[in-house]
């Protein structure tokens, strides 16, 4: 027989989210980690139903009926912002390329004026915001990120109480 206490859910993790590693480059740099709530989070369930309600008839169409089916891109555009608002609570390790103009003022041309600016690309950290998260989760080119968030939110094991808490009866 199994101890039923082993499957208890940690209410704090369910409400605030559990951390998942999405991508670890393996080169010593910080991995991309995402904090995600459970997929059965009540406000998420209600919001996704509300968001999809106007599209129910469209979602039911299939190519077999001779009509264009519900595309993954369409689903991402509608559901991505809902996932960002209700399931993702934080992230770390996400960077984006940014361009900036740099002028080397130590070098001047023959007329004594500084040279034209040089465009430099570098990576910059992206702080978590619901808006930025919605941008990623709605973009088909980040489909793997969307899928990872959804699959992580459905991971029962990640939201369980720590074994030491179960053993102590908490």
pLDDT of residue 62: 66
Grouping H, G, I as helix, E, B as strand and the rest as coil, residue 2 is: coil
Is 103 domain-assigned? Answer: no
Is 144 domain-assigned? Answer: yes
pLDDT of residue 162: 83
Is 57 domain-assigned? Answer: yes
Helical H segments across 87-139, by residue range: 130-138
pLDDT, greater one: 117 or 33: 33
Total number of domains constituting the chain? 1
Closest CA to 118 of 106, 98, 104: 104
Cβ neighbors of 33 (< 8 A, separation 6 or more) are 19, 20, 21, 22, 91, 92, 93
Condensed to tens digits (0 to 9), the pLDDT of residues 22-71 reads: 999 999 999 999 999 999 999 999 999 999 999 888 777 766 666 666 78
Is 135 domain-assigned? Answer: yes
- Mean pLDDT score of the chain: 88
Is 36 domain-assigned? Answer: yes
Quote the domain boundaries for residue 51.
Answer: 8-95+125-162
Is 78 domain-assigned? Answer: yes
Q: Could you give the CA distance from residue 143 to residue 141 in angstroms, rounded to a whole number?
A: 6
Is 107 domain-assigned? Answer: no
Is 153 domain-assigned? Answer: yes
Is residue 16's pLDDT more than 70? yes
Is residue 115's pLDDT more than 90? no
């Amino acid at each position: 027989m199994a101890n039923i206490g082993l499957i208890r859910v940690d209410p704090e993790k369910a409400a605030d989210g559990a951390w998942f590693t999405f991508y670890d480059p393996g080169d010593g740099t910080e991995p991309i980690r995402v904090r995600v709530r459970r997929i059965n989070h009540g406000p998420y369930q209600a919001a996704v139903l509300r968001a999809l309600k106007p599209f129910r008839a469209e979602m039911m169409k299939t190519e077999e009926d001779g009509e264009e089916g519900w595309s993954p891109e369409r689903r991402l555009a509608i559901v991505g912002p809902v996932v960002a608002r209700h399931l993702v609570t934080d992230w770390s390790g996400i960077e984006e390329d940014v361009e900036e103009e740099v002028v080397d003022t130590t070098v001047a041309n023959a007329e004594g004026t500084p040279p034209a600016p040089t465009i430099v690309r570098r990576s910059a950290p992206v702080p978590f915001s619901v808006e930025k998260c919605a941008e990623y989760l709605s973009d088909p080119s980040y489909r793997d990120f969307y899928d990872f968030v959804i699959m992580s939110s459905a991971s029962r094991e990640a939201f369980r109480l720590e074994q030491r808490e179960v053993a102590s009866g908490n």
